[in-house]
Amino acid sequence: MRDLEFPLFKTKIENSPKFDLTDVKDRQKYFELKVGEEIKKLREYLKENTFIVYLLGKKNSGKGTYAKMFKEIVDKDRVEHFSIGDMIREVDKELKDGEKKKELINFLEKNYRGFIPLKDIIDSLEDRSTSKLLPSELILVLAKREIAKKERKAIFIDGFLRELDQVSYSLFFRDLIDYRQDPDIFVLIDVPEAVIDERIKNRVVCPLCQTSRSLKLLPTKKVEYDQKEKRVHLICDNSECKGARMVAKEGDELGIELIKERLKTDENLIKQAFSLYGIPKVLLRNSMPKDKTKEFVDDYEITPEYSYGWDGKNRKVKIIEKPWQILDDNKVTCYSLMPPPVVVSLIKQIVEALNLT
């Protein structure tokens, strides 16, 4: 991120065996080796206690991925993840169900405090074709309802609120922090815009099952070469899709071009959260300057990039793998990290924030 220094985090261990971090079993062994002690402490803590994490990162920064991996590794039953965006979509569904709609309105009548009449809010919720702005007081009360539902669990709130301006944003946190009698933690994620850009440009989707993959960063098992087009296509791994070719979505070739403004707002909000006092902050970075990687990370923790060629003689696609290199927002040459080392850093820093050391 420009003008904001996120510290480098060392996950390298001398003589570490090589792990395949895309494999669930291997990944468990990896976490056992690198943060086994910390995971034990967290599980012990979660038997009697909880915490609330606010995840703050730019759009497409991988917030959900990190939170879900934390849950998978630490405690599936006592950790929850919810995104404000999904929450609003759930509310849309409730409004279509007569019984649930009544309950929702009942709840809002008791709990909503704001300047816009409740009736107008319900109307604008029901007519979201125009993607009208939702008042921050409404989002706040809905977030509280969601938190109350998960009373005995640690929660990761995937928190950027596109709708909020900067003033409502700080009000939002001021109101939510200390809402529950357990520690609050900010998790700020720094992902270079070049990473977000490439993720968007290279993503392909199965037209049948909507699974999303990436030609360059996350290929499927089967890659097909088209002789006429002189290029490769990913074939969906899902057997029900019977060899469907994955395709790019229109507009994705523009990368971050279409969300530039959004990314700028996100960055300002992260900086604002960074300067909020009185709440512990976990700082995560997804990239590592190339000249520091030998010292700080193991080779298998670096994201590989894939490129393809056609071996005409053997009629086979050649797959070339090498470390994915990008320029970060300060134009430093970096490697991008796989999600697991970022989650190692997350686990260690949360243990510290909770004083479990």
Q: Where on the chain is the footprint of Zn ion (CB under 5 A)?
A: 206, 208-209, 236, 238, 241
Is 53 within 8 Å of 284 (Cβ atoms)?
A: no
Residue 61: strand, helix, or coil: coil
CB of 212 to Zn ion, least distance (A): 10
Cβ contacts of 316 within 8 Å, gap of 6 or more? 310
Radius of gyration of the chain (CA): 22
Q: Given the complex with Zn ion, which of 191 and 236 has the nearer CB atom?
A: 236
Cβ-based nearer residue to Zn ion, 210 or 355 = 210
**In this complex, which beta carbon is closest to Zn ion, that of residue 109 or of residue 240?**
240
Q: Give least dist CB 235 to Zn ion, A.
A: 9
Q: How far is the CB of 238 from Zn ion (least distance, A)?
A: 4
Distance from C-alpha of 62 to C-alpha of 72, rounded to nearest angstrom: 15
CB 153, min distance to Zn ion, A: 33
Closer residue to Zn ion (CB): 209 or 247: 209
Q: How far apart are CA 124 and CA 314, in angstroms?
A: 61
Please, what is the minimum distance in Å from the beta carbon of residue 354 to Zn ion?
Answer: 41
Min CB(322)–Zn ion separation in Å? 28
Quickly list H helices, the chain: 24-48, 63-74, 84-95, 98-111, 118-126, 136-149, 166-176, 193-202, 260-274, 293-296, 339-353
Residue 122 vs 205, nearer CB to Zn ion: 205
In the complex, the smallest distance separating the C-beta of residue 203 from Zn ion, rounded to whole angstroms, is: 14
Cβ proximity of 158 and 266 under 8 Å: no
Smaller CB separation from Zn ion, 118 or 247: 247
Pick from 57, 55, 60, 7: nearest CA to 267: 57
Residues 6+ apart with CB under 8 A from 224: 232, 233, 234, 235, 245, 317
Closest distance between Zn ion and the C-beta of residue 205, in Å? 9
> Between residues 210 and 227, which has the closer beta carbon with respect to Zn ion?
210
As a whole number of angstroms, the distance between CA 120 and CA 137 comes to 13
Cβ-Cβ contacts under 8 Å for 104 (sequence gap 6 or more) = 91, 94, 95
Closer to Zn ion by CB, 239 or 314: give it.
239
The three-state (H, E, C) secondary structure of 228-272, written as one string: CCCEEEEECCCHHHCCCECECCCCHHHHHHHHHHHHHHHHHHHHH
